[in-house]
Amino acid sequence: MSSEPAPDQFAFELLKLLLQVAWADDDVAHSETEALLAFGQKSRLSAEQLELLAACLAGEAPLPPPNLGFLKTRRLDVLRAVKELLVSDLHVAGEEDTILEQISALLR
């Protein structure tokens, strides 16, 4: 068995982190929902993972915590994806700026 994590594991951990970011301002914009679902589909997540993602985006399920230790190994990829999500709804709220700074610090 390879010690390399599966690409979909990175995608799922990243999506769990992006869910936290999307909910940082207590509101998930339609464009954020679409961007996250599209990323999940493009990343070939399982049907179960996509269902969890959709339920979390709809506020119908608790947000699963991301594995930050795992995400630290691809810090730049994570920060780039977070920034893309933050600008996807055409504005960056103060809370979202704060969470981007916090994520950057957590992944050091």
Give dist(CA 53, CA 101) in Å, integer.
24
Average pLDDT over residues 82-93: 68
SS3 59: coil
Tally Cβ neighbours within 10 Å of residue 60: 8
Look at residue 14 and tell me whether its pLDDT is greater than 60. Answer: yes
Q: Is residue 2 part of a domain?
A: no
Q: Is residue 21 part of a domain?
A: yes
Q: Would you say the pTM of this structure is higher than 0.85?
A: no
Give which of 74, 73, 52 is closest to 61, Cα–Cα: 52
Q: Is residue 76 part of a domain?
A: yes
Number of domains present in the structure of the chain:
1
Look at residue 8 and tell me whether its pLDDT is greater than 60. Answer: yes
Q: Is residue 1 part of a domain?
A: no
Give dist(CA 92, CA 8) in Å, integer.
28
Please give the residue range of the domain that contains residue 78.
7-106
pLDDT tens by residue, 47-74: 999 999 999 999 999 999 999 999 999 9
The fraction of the chain above a pLDDT of 90, given in percent, is: 36
Average pLDDT over residues 19-29: 84
